[in-house]
Amino acid sequence: MTRQPLLARRAESLLGVAVSATSPVAGGDTSTATRLRLADGRNALMKTQPGAPAGFFEAEARGLALLAGVRDGVAVPEVLAAASDCLVLRWIDPGRPSADAAATLGAALARTHAAPAELGAPTDGFIGRLPMPCRAPEGATWAEFYAVRRVLPYLKLARDRGAVLPGDAAKVEGLLGRLPDLVPEEPAALLHGDLWNGNVLWGTGGSVHVVDPAAYGGHREVDLAMLSLFGLPHLAEALAAYEATAAGLGRPLVDGWRERAGIHQLFPLLVHAALFGGGYGARAAAVAAAY
């Protein structure tokens, strides 16, 4: 490990402890990640992003704090410092995925979802590099919130960027009016909000943490749909443990939740279309047409 003076000095000013070495960490589409070796023997992860929008790292820190506040819920790295230009987290030594760790994740997620929550959030947030509206219209149902705060903003952005063709956009729009009949209403759950495989951190000793939340109150099938979208290792074990734990908590999943997964995958697919283009727009249209 070498030492990047500017990063090290910024971390030292926030942590109040000397940084003896730094090294880049691979991965991440949004921020630059750097491992810090601290003089007191600890290791930390520092996330930076040149020109980060106002409130970007503070929003992530709020989401981590919300998740950390749920007893026996999903584990998150400890926030060591948060500022407008960076976020510093406790370092998690990486390990390998396992069926037992996936089951631990599924059970913990069910307990997180059982925590009291209100629909949406008091302040808006971010999904990747994009703003994410979180304020719920007064009296809104989940179907209304999902349509106007999750699907339509990114459908418009992707269409404006040429990532969704007009005919495909019409297929997605055509589904939205049917959401009240397709998705059962239930009390809002505290969501991670961006729970794809890349935001699950498999640690040593069978530990598992989640990172990069876009937390708000919403339908718990959103997180389950995200876990299923991009190939979580040992997904079957995670979902089975979730289902059993949710039932044990008196909040069993409503029949048909697996078949509804595509509905809640429209949101991340359209976010990806807006960010990366490719075939994500057409994929979202195909999912919408299936319903």
Percent of residues, the chain, with pLDDT higher than 90: 93
Which of 72-89 are b and which e, b meaning 16 or more Cβ less than 10 Å from the residue's Cβ? ebbbbbebbbbeeebbbb
**Mean pLDDT on 279-290:** 97
Q: Quick one: 181 exposed, middle or buried, by C-beta within 10 A (0-12, 13-18, 19+)? A: exposed
Band (pLDDT 50/70/90 cuts) for residue 1 is low
pTM of the full predicted structure? Answer: 0.95
- Rounded distance between C-alpha atoms, residue 254 and residue 262, angstroms: 15
pLDDT (0 to 100) of residue 275: 95
| Cα Rg of the chain, angstroms | 19
The single-letter DSSP state of residue 205 is: G
Band (pLDDT 50/70/90 cuts) for residue 26 is confident
Band (pLDDT 50/70/90 cuts) for residue 4 is confident
Q: Return the structure tokens found at 101.
A: 């760790």
Band (pLDDT 50/70/90 cuts) for residue 28 is low
**Mean pLDDT on 139-156:** 98
The residues facing 36 across adjacent strands are: 22, 44
pLDDT > 90? residue 191: yes
| Tokens 């631990």 -> residue | 104
pLDDT (0 to 100) of residue 50: 85
Residues acting as catalytic residues: 194
Tens of pLDDT along 95-132? Answer: 999 999 999 999 999 999 999 999 999 999 999 889 99
Backbone angles phi, psi at 287, to 5 degrees: -65, -45
Band (pLDDT 50/70/90 cuts) for residue 3 is confident
pLDDT > 80? residue 22: yes
pLDDT (0 to 100) of residue 256: 97
| Tokens 């239930």 -> residue | 186
Band (pLDDT 50/70/90 cuts) for residue 51 is confident
- Rounded distance between C-alpha atoms, residue 188 and residue 95, angstroms: 33
Instruction: Write down all domains in the chain, each with its CATH number in brackets.
Output: 5-90 (3.30.200.20), 99-289 (3.90.1200.10)
Band (pLDDT 50/70/90 cuts) for residue 144 is very high
Mean pLDDT for all residues in the chain? 96
Tens of pLDDT along 210-220? Answer: 999 999 999 99
Q: Which residues contact 147 (CB under 8 A, 6 or more apart)?
A: 176, 179
pLDDT (0 to 100) of residue 2: 81
